[in-house]
Each structure stands twice: as C-alpha cells, then as structure tokens.
Structure 1
Amino acid sequence: MEPLTIGILVMSAMLIVVVLGLPVGYALLGAGTIGYAILSGPSQALTQIGLALWDNGTNFLFIAVPLFILMGQLIFHAGLAEDIFSLAQRGLRRVPGGLGVSTVLASAGFGAVTGSSVAAVATMGNIAVPQMIKRGYSEKLSTATVASAATLAIIIPPSVPLVIYGVWSETSIGALFIAGIVPGLILTCAFIGAVMVQRSQYPAVSATVSDEALPPLSTHAVGLASVFLIFVIVIGGIYAGIFTPTEASGIGVFSVLAIALVGRRLTLDGLRKALKETLRTTAAIFLILTGGIILSRFLVQTRLTDAVVGLVSHLDASPQSILIALALVYLFLGAIMDTFGMLILTLPLVLPITMAIGYDPIWTGIYLTVLMEIAMLTPPIGLNVFVLERATGVPAARIFAGIWPFVAASLTVVLLLIYFPQIATWLPETMR
C-alpha cells in the first residue's frame, strides 16, 4: 500500500474515533503510533514515542505552559478578577448596558494575566452573572456575555494556546504574545458592540445603585493596580527583550504569589487547588502535544502534507478565499473536538498552507487562536458554555441561544485578520 494511502486511512480513522468520543490526546498518539508501525515497524514507532516524550519533556519553552497556567490559577483563587470587575462596574454604572461592558472589560483584564479561558469563565461566571441578572439583564445575555468575553483570555497575552503553537511551530512566543495585543483589543471592542446592540435585553440604565452602596474605591484599587503591574512586567519585559517568555512566566508566578501573600488573599487550600488544577491541565496538554508531534512526523513520512499543500497551491482561488474555507473547516472541527486537540491535529497541514499562500507564521498563530475562541462557544462542544453551566446552573441550551451575536463579532475579526494581516504583524515588527 502506498504511504500516501496509509496516511489518508489513518487520518480518516482518527477523525472517526474522535467523533465517537475518544479523547483527542489518545487519538493523536494512537494514530501516529499505529501509522509509524505500519510504515516502518513497531520498533520505529516505539522509538518515535520515546523521542517525542524526550523532546517535549526537555523543551525549555514548554516550561512556560504550566507556569502560565499556575499564574492564572493563583489569580483566580486570590480573587483579583473581582477587583477588576468592581472597578469597571463603578466607572460604567450609569451607562446603558454598562454592566455588560464592565463584564467584557473585566474579562479582558483578567485574560491579560491568566491565559486560560476556562479559569476566566469560571471566575467571571460566579462574579458577573448574578450581578447582571439582579440588575435586570436577561439570563441569556448575561451568560452569553460571560462565556464569550472569557475567550479573550487566550488571545490577549499571556496565552497558553499561543505558547503551544509557538513550541510546535518553532515560532517566537514573545512575538506571538505581542501580536495578540491589537487583535485582542479589537475583539474586546467587538464584544462590547455585541452587548450594546442587544438593548432589548437590558434596562435603560443598567446599574441604579448609589455611590454609597458600592465598596470604597480603595478596596479594589490595589487589586487592579496589581494586575496591571503584573501585565506590564510580563509583557513589557518580553517586548523590551529583557527576558524570554519562559523567564517571564516564572517572574509572573512569583509576582502573583508575592501580591497574594502580602495582601493575605491566598489560603493554603487555595494554593493546593491551584497546584492540583495546574498539574491536571498540564498533563492533558502534554499528552496532546506529544501525540501531535508523533502524528505530524508520520504525516511527513507519508507525504500527505506535501500532497495537501500542492493541491491547495494549484487551486484557482485567492489566498483570502482559501483562508475563509479553512475558517469554515475549523468551525466544523470545533463542533466535534476540544480546542487544543483541534490546534495540534490541524497544524501539520494548515501551517504549510498558510505559508505557501504568503502569510506569516505569527499571523497564522493569531488567526488560529481567534478560530479556537469561536470553537469554545459553538455547540455541541462549546467548552466555555458547559463550564459556565456548572458554575451558574443556567442550562447550556439557554447559553448557546445567546452566543450568536458574539460569534458574529468574532467572525468579523477573523475577516479583518484575513484582509488586513497587518493587524497581527505590525506590533511584532516593531520589536525588531
């Protein structure tokens, strides 16, 4: 049997077992191992597993993944996100839709120091949803705003998916972080616009509380200043070339720990939970990344990647049309698998395609991350929606019913990235 045929059959079988419910990490690892065993024998397959584990385990850049996850977990358990939300709520309390806008801004601020969408949605779900419903917002808009705004955590740096993309594609993680700033701000504005156009679902003045009913400004100002300081240290240090992203992740964890301990905002139980969740998430990502490396090496051996790139290159279509078609493929994949698995599964094919049609790998990382955001919202998987369902008790079907204006806002940003790639590449170029 031809290697190309083997590659097609293995990829088809892997997609089938993923649809049937097998975790993506096991599917990637199994497909790559079985494919190698068919092509080169069982001993070569076992050798590739060992090499992939060694490459990941000794990769200095991969250290940033558990550290950025830990930083987000520490901020979550220290309650710093509540400070951001309370100050945004105070500033916009007399603006129609102001509480919804506050939720988007607080999620963006929380994302600027976490990199984890799941942590953001769990935190903001407990903080913002009860407040919004209490102030007259519809349940559908309240939950959809939180679920959507939480996705900002994976585009506004630091971002765990961008670290994964950088490690796999050997792209500068520092440049990827800087590239995410402008698209992240644009997406924040797009979500604010999505809130403001849904006027029928919130009162004319969303917050009627008096100044006396709000906590003193000083109560939450320290938390906001701390979050801003952490962001400046981590991202400013990377931009200025003072330290690498991996070093920045360690400095970020130390900064959050120092702030939380000095302010007595982190308990021993909170620290234990943060470490436990970090270990669990990192192990899952490590399995997916290892399986993805083995699968990508197998695909190189079958020349399936070359065949797909050659096919796309000979299409009588503009680069923009090809990218729009890829976006539709990602929307489909996002309905049947988790975001990390989707990213690693498609990178061996998608990255060569985008490079072949003239797009920078840094731009590709931002483009794929925005598409991952959409996948975290759309049914039937919609990870953010189900996390929010557990946090608030609102049925997932009701949350899904409200996310479509935010999905439309995200798709608008995707089109802007396709037709104006400088949105993602301009700021990293200033680093050079």
Structure 2
Amino acid sequence: MTDLDTSTLGLLSVVFLMALVAGGIRIFVAAALVGFLGLASLRGWDAAIGLAGLTPYAKAASYQFSVLPMFILIGFLAFHAGLTRNVFEAARIWVGRLPGGLAVATILATAGFSAVSGASTATSAVFSRIALPEMLGRGYKVAISAGVVAAGGTLASLIPPSGILVIYGIIAETSIGKLLIAGFVPGFLSAAIYVLLLVFLFKRNPGLGPAGTAFPLREKIASIRKVSGIAVVIMIVLGGLYTGLLTPTETGAAGAFVMLLFCVFRADFKLENMAHAFMETVKVSSMIFAVIWAVLIYVRFLGFTGLPNDIAAYVLSFDVNRYVILIAILLFYVVLGMFMDAIGMLLLTLPIVIPTIIGLGFNEIWFGIILVKMAEICLITPPIGLNCFVVHGVRPDIPMNKIFQGAAPFFVADVATVGLLIAVPEIVLWLPNQMAN
C-alpha cells in the first residue's frame, strides 16, 4: 500500500472503532477487533495473529505496570480498615461549623481519601454511603448533597496515587513519578476551589443546608489521631516519589503494606474484609488491563499506518496560535467524554494526540494534568457522567437530573481551574521540577 492508503485505512479504523463503541460494544472488544483486522489487512493473517498475541504481553509485562494494582489495593484496604469514615468525621469536626459545613467536610474527606485511592468512581461510591446520608439527615437539599459527592470523587483522578495518571504516563512514555507529583498541587487546588464555591453558595442561599456546631480543640486533636493511617500512607507515597528513594511501584507496594498493617491491627479486623479488598483489586485491575491490552493491539496497528504522525503534521501546518489548537483538542475531549469513560477515552486517543502536543511544544506532563482534569469534568457531565451514575446506583431514590443539577456548579469551577492551569503552567510543573532525577 502507499502512504496515502495506509493513512486512509487508519482514519477509517478510527471511524469504525467509534461506531462500535457508540453501538454499545465494550471498548476492549472493539479496540482489539479493529486492531487485529487492521493488522491482518496490512501484514496478513499470520503476522496479525503473532502481533496480537505478543504485543500485549511485551508491553504489559513491563515492571511499571505493576504500580496499578498496588495503588488500587491501597484504596480498598483503606475502605475496609474503616479509614474512610474516620477521615469524614475528622473533616466534619474541623470545618462543620462553616456555611455548608457537611458539604465542605465531604470535599475535604474525599480529597484525603483520594490520597490513598486512585479511583474516582470508588471514591464517589464510598462517600455516597458515608457522607450523603449525613447531609440529607441534617436537612441539606438533595441536589447539592448528591452533586458534592459526585464532584468530590473526581479528585481521585489527580491527587496521587492516581490510576489514570499512571495509564497516561505509560501510553505517553513519560515519567510516572513526576506525573503523580505534578497532580498533587492541582488536585488540592481543585479541592480548595470546591470549598470556596460551597461556602459562597451556602452563604448566598442558607436554605441549601444548615451549618454545623463548633467542636472543642480536644476533639479536633483526637480526630487527627484517627486518620493517622492515611497520613502515614500519604507521606510514604509523596515522600518516596518526591525524593526518588522509591520507584512508583515500590511506593505503591510500601503504601499497600502499611495499609494492610492498619487493617490487621484494628480491633474489629475480619479476614473476610481483607479477602474482599484483594478480590475487588483483582476485578478492577483485570478490567483496566483488559482495556490496556486491547488498545495496545490497536495502537500497534495505528503505528503501521502512520496516522498519528500524519495528523500531527496536518495540525501543525495550521497558521494559528498553538493555544487555539490546544483548546480545540480539549473541547474534543469534552464531546468525547459524553460517550466514553475516561480510561477508554485516553487510551484510544493519546497515541494520536501526543505527537501533536509534543509538536506544538507543550510539556507532556503539564498536558497530562490538564487532560486528566478534563476527564474529571466528563465524570460529572451528562449524558455519561459516570460519577453521577455511581451516586444514583448507591441511592436510586435520587433522580439523575437532581444529581446532574447539583454537580453543575462544580463543572463551572472545573472549567475555571483548567483555565488557571493553562494560564499558569508552573502550578503543575513547579513541584515535579524540584524532584530528584
């Protein structure tokens, strides 16, 4: 085939893949199928079978992939150790007296839990069971209560240890350690902006929910001791990554081991809880790896077509400011996020987008944080809005329209945050630039 033929074939494969996904075919099935058929058309059936069999193993057998199950395990162990409720109670004691105190406490608690959990949907599911009943029981409006839990869960996408940042780092072939550290400041900045938004909303409209009562200093100090497990794991993760003393995988293993100890030494420890944590980790990890393996087959096919480089060259030929192209790419992700989950969306598009971003002269770590922030936005916007569906799954008595209504102010806050990160790249890059190489 000529170069034109292979590029056209690659473009047709993208259209075919999107059509399959839009038709309800699972991403890992669609990507593997299109990738395999594409390889067969270019290299023949024997070569396609060989490449489809070897490519997933050759890539996924990499040491860096083992960080994913470690980070996932930390979150499930923290949940079964009871640390989720402890962090919410501590936040409630410290900030409950503020306007919208329970909602503010929920955001702070989700941020704290996000520092030991790399999964947004898991975070929303946990706090739908812990924080949502508390807010509704205290007379908070249903929409804002559900919206807070859905939006709070998105913080796990940025705050390390973040599973989606690990996936981005693997596909973009950039430093996972620096990526995770780069997500720290933007993640907690997002949480701070959420808090300011809630205080503003509840001050303007006290009918959204009452403020709580103030607690004495003694109780505040006692509440800190109850979240010491999370604090220790956070120090291990951030300290190990920042100093370079531990690789991301070693950091995940050390964090999981410490969290396991907190589980074992709890007075109400049950062996079945640990078994559940391990089984849930296996299930989630298997799902993620299935998508990664399938997409790697498709990416190998795209590499043969030359489509990513052709698209990059075409986009770079435009005589416009590079930020115009960047914003167009981000808007494309907003539309795509209406129909796909974040992991699948990133895995399918990054092989095409990354060459363009590098060609435009943008830092790939900075872009990764921006892109994951866009993925957070997609988690709370219709029609998919996965975190909103998670909240509805836990509380089916709350209509979906109410949850999306409550999450709408956080969409505005997220857009403002993205604008801030684009305008001031040092918010993202300063901390990783200080790291030991």
The TM-score range, normalised by the shorter chain, is over 0.9
Look up the match of 1:288.
291
Alpha-carbon deviation of 1:411? 1.2
> Is 1:387 aligned to 2:377, yes or no?
no
Determine whether 1:133 maps to 2:133: no
The CA deviation at 1:211 is: 4.8
Aligned equivalent of 2:408: 404
Match runs of 1:305-316 below 5 Å: 305-316=308-319
Gaps of 5+ in 2: none
User: Which residue of the other structure, out of 371, 376, 379, is the alignment partner of 1:373?
Assistant: 376
- After superposing the two structures, state which structure 1 stretch, 342-351 or 274-283, moved more: 274-283
Tell me by how many angstroms 1:216 deviates.
5.4
Equivalent residue for 2:348, pick from 341, 345, 349: 345
> How far apart are the structure 2 equivalents of 1:363 and 1:210?
40
Question: 1:347–1:265: structure 2 CA closer, same or farther, 3 Å change rule?
Answer: farther
CA, structure 1 residues 290+105, in 2 after alignment: closer, same or farther (shift >3 Å)?
Answer: same
Rounded to whole Å, the distance in 2 between the matches of 1:160 and 1:237 is 17
TM-score, normalised to structure 1, is: 0.95
Residue 170 (structure 2) pairs with residue 167 (structure 1): yes
Task: Work out whether residues 137 and 202 of structure 1, in 8 Å CA contact, stay in contact via their aligned partners in 2.
Answer: no
CA deviations on 1:24-66 (whole Å, 9 max, x unpaired) are 1111111111111111111121122222221244211111111
Q: Is residue 141–residue 201 contact of structure 1 (8 Å, CA) maintained in 2?
A: no
Q: 1:265 to 1:232 in 2, by over 3 A?
A: farther
Residue 254 of structure 1 pairs with residue 254 of structure 2:
no
Partner of 1:19: 22
What SS does the corresponding residue of 1:403 show, helix, strand or coil? Answer: helix
The reply on whether 1:145 has 2:151 as its aligned counterpart is no
Deviation at 1:210, TM superposition (A): 6.9
Q: Is the 8 A contact 1:89 1:99 kept in 2?
A: yes
CA distance change for structure 1 residues 68 and 202 in 2, over 3 Å: closer, same or farther? farther
Q: What is the CA–CA distance in structure 2 between the aligned matches of 1:194 and 1:23, rounded to whole Å?
A: 37
Cα offsets for 1:52-107 (capped at 9, x unmatched): 22124421111111111111111112220111111111111221122211111111
* Residue 428 (str. 1) matches residue 432 (str. 2): yes
Within 2, Cα distance between the matches of 1:16 and 1:408?
Answer: 30
Q: Over residues 117-170 of structure 1, what are the superposed CA-to-partner deviations in whole Å (9 max), with x where a residue is unaligned? A: 122111111111111122222100001011001110110001001111112222
CA–CA separation in structure 2 for the residues paired with 1:430 and 1:129: 39
Partner of 1:414: 418
Judge conservation of contact 1:95–1:206 (CA < 8 Å) in 2.
no
- Aligned equivalents of 2:276 and 2:51: distance in 1? 35
Counterpart pick for 1:302 among 275, 291, 305: 305
Q: 2:160 aligns with which of 157, 161, 166?
A: 157
Which secondary structure does the structure 1 equivalent of 2:335 belong to? helix
Q: Which amino acid aligns with 2:394?
A: A
Structure-2 change in CA distance of 1:209 and 1:28 (3 Å) = same
Tell me which amino acid in the other structure corresponds to 1:287.
Answer: A
Residues 405 and 205 of structure 1: CA distance in aligned 2, closer, same or farther (over 3 Å): closer
Deviation at 1:178, TM superposition (A): 0.7
Q: Distance in 2 between matches of 1:340 and 1:202?
A: 38
Is contact 1:162-1:173 (8 Å) kept? yes
**Structure 1 residue 270 and structure 2 residue 273: aligned?**
yes
2:358 is the alignment partner of 1:355: yes
What is residue 201 of structure 2 aligned with on the other side? 198
SS at match of 1:171: coil
Distance in 2, Cα, partners of 1:431 & 1:257? 28
CA distance in 1 between counterparts of 2:207 and 2:191 reads 22
Contact 1:107 1:150 in 2 (8 A): yes
Aligned residues: 431
Return the letter of the residue paired with 2:433: E
Following the alignment from structure 1 to structure 2, what is the Cα–Cα distance between the partners of residues 243 and 261?
Answer: 24
Letter in 1 for 2:38: G
Q: Is the contact between residue 107 and residue 191 of structure 2 (CA under 8 Å) also seen in structure 1?
A: yes
Change (3 A) 1:417 1:210: closer
Contact 1:175 1:428 in 2 (8 A): yes
- Does residue 79 of the first structure (1) align with residue 43 of the second (2)? no
Residues 1:239 and 2:223 are matched in the alignment: no
CA deviations 1:317-353 (Å, max 9, x no partner) are: 2121111111111111111111110010110111111
| Cα displacement (A) at 1:385 | 0.9
Which of 24, 28, 39 aligns to 1:36? It is 39
Q: Is the 8 A contact 1:133 1:139 kept in 2?
A: yes
**What's the secondary structure of 1:235's corresponding residue?**
helix
The 1:202/1:267 distance shift into structure 2, 3 A limit, reads: farther
Residues 97-116 of structure 1: matches in 2 within 5 Å? 97-116=100-119
Name the Cα RMSD after superposition: 1.9
Listed as ranges, the gaps of 5+ residues in structure 1 are none
Q: Secondary structure at the residue paired with 2:330? A: helix
- Which of 403-412 and 220-229 deviates more? 220-229
Mapped contact 2:81–2:262 kept (Cα < 8 A): no
Q: Percent identity?
A: 38
Q: Report the residue type matching 1:351 in the other structure.
A: I
Measured against aligned partners, the alpha-carbon deviations of 1:275-326 in whole angstroms (never above 9, x if no partner) come to 2211111111111111222222211211111121011101122121111111
Deviations 1:348-394 (A, max 9, x none): 11111111111111112111111111111111111111111121232
Equivalent position SS for 1:197: helix
Q: Give, in whole Å, the separation in 2 of the partners of 1:279 and 1:407.
A: 32
Distance across 2 between alignment mates of 1:305 and 1:99: 47
Counterpart secondary structure, 2:191: helix
Q: Out of 224-233 and 198-207, give the one that drifted further.
A: 198-207
SS at match of 1:136: coil
Q: Distance in 2 between matches of 1:209 and 1:367?
A: 38
Amino acid at match of 2:287: A
Which whole-Å CA distance do the structure 2 matches of 1:415 and 1:217 have between them? Answer: 36
Single out whichever of 417-426 and 241-250 deviates more from structure 2. Answer: 417-426
